[in-house]
């Protein structure tokens, strides 16, 4: 018997199945049909995605997981795609205000936004997929890609005539070129930026000092750079992030140091700092110390 199962569809379905199985495990309780919350209202699940739900990869797998939760759990669901870094806090806040019981943030780049929003909504449970947060109403869902890829390899080999399958992969930076012989100087600015980032991060440095790393980049490239830097932070590297984009600094930082007239005037907690407070200090306003 021959099975017509294209490679693209196999990878997509394999990834979606793996991700959605974890999604359901995160949502399930001892009750096999948690369709109603404790106050008698329907159980509500939402997900914020950094990309499009039709990308046939990471974002679509999260979206398929949400739909599976709707089918299996009878939950009321909602999603928001292409959430830019600057809009993450607003997106998560909006879901929480609308009474969603569980809000998934699909990517480690949402960590800062989760930390900022979760304390304001103790009745909403936030899950960072591939994140690194842990609090009373925050959990991180870490996907072991190696185990999932190994399982997909076994299934894929079983679908071939030879029962063999070879696949070579590297760390994904989404560098796009028109051909394999193209020079780096001929790439777009965003792809050149990602080449430099890939080269430096491949060395696994202990200290990383990115200065204006997303200047001139589009939304997709900016999200990719943020994601890679946050992954390095999760690995244990120290990052000194230098940028004039205040919202970006607040989303990426644990602590924010403000300089005026060549001197440090304040070091703030990123979770409690406000744009107004930072702007005042940058303009030479009230100093600390």
Q: Which residue has the higher pLDDT, 10 or 248?
A: 248
With respect to residue 289, please indicate whether it lies within any of the assigned structural domains. Answer: no
Mean pLDDT over each residue of the chain, to the nearest integer: 78
- Asked whether residue 128 falls in the same domain as residue 50, the answer is yes
Out of 2-11, 116-125, 141-150, give the one with best mean pLDDT. 116-125
Domain that holds residue 194: 184-282
Same structural domain, 129 and 49:
yes
For residue 197, being part of any structural domain is answered with yes
252 and 133 belong to one structural domain: no
pLDDT by residue (tens digit) across 223-248?
778 888 888 888 888 999 988 888 88
Question: Where does a domain end: 117, 141, 165?
Answer: 141
Same domain as 119, residue 190: no
Rounded to whole angstroms, the Cα distance separating 188 from 38 reads 52
CATH of the domain at 20: 3.40.50.2300
Q: Is the residue at 287 inside a domain?
A: no
Note the pLDDT tens digit of each residue in 71-94.
988 899 999 999 988 899 999 999
255: domain CATH number is: 3.40.50.300
How would residue 144 be classed by pLDDT, with cut points 50, 70 and 90?
low
Quick one: 118 and 190 in the same domain? no
The answer to whether residue 153 scores a pLDDT higher than 80 is no
Question: 75, 109, 141 — which closes off a domain?
Answer: 141
Residues 12 and 128 in one domain: yes
Res 289: pLDDT: 43
Instruction: Mark 144-159 as b/e (b = at least 16 C-beta within 10 Å).
Output: eeeebeeebeeebeee
**Do 26 and 99 share a domain, yes or no?**
yes
Residue 88 in domain: yes
Same domain membership, residue 117 and residue 34 = yes
Lowest mean pLDDT among 73-82, 94-103, 194-203, 268-277: 194-203
Q: What is the number of structural domains in the chain? A: 2
Regarding pTM above 0.75, the answer is no
């Amino acid at each position: 018997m021959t099975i017509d199962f294209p490679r693209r569809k196999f990878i997509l379905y394999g990834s979606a199945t793996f991700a959605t199985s974890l999604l359901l495990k995160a949502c399930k309780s001892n009750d096999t049909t948690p369709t109603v919350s404790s106050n008698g209202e329907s159980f509500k699940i939402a997900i914020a995605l950094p990309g499009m739900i039709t990308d046939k990869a990471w974002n679509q797998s999260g979206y398929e997981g949400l739909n599976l939760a709707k089918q299996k759990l009878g939950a009321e669901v909602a999603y928001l795609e292409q959430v830019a870094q600057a809009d993450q806090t607003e997106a998560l806040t909006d879901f929480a205000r609308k009474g969603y019981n569980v809000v998934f943030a699909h990517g480690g780049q949402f960590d800062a936004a989760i930390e900022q929003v979760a304390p304001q909504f103790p009745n909403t449970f936030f899950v960072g997929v591939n994140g690194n947060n842990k609090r009373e109403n925050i959990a991180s869902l870490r996907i072991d890609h190696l185990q999932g890829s190994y399982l997909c390899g076994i299934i894929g080999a079983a679908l071939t005539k030879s029962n063999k399958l070879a696949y070579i992969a590297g760390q994904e930076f989404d560098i796009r070129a028109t051909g394999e012989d193209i020079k780096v100087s001929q790439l777009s600015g965003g792809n050149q930026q990602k080449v430099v980032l890939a080269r430096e991060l491949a060395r696994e440095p202990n200290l990383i000092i990115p200065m204006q790393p997303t200047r001139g980049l589009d939304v997709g490239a900016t999200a990719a750079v943020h994601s890679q830097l946050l992954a390095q932070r999760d690995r244990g590297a120290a990052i000194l992030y230098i940028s004039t984009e205040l919202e970006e600094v607040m989303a990426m930082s644990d602590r924010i140091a403000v300089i005026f007239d060549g001197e440090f005037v304040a070091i703030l907690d990123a979770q409690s700092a406000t744009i107004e407070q930072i702007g005042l200090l940058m303009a030479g306003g009230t100093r600390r110390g």
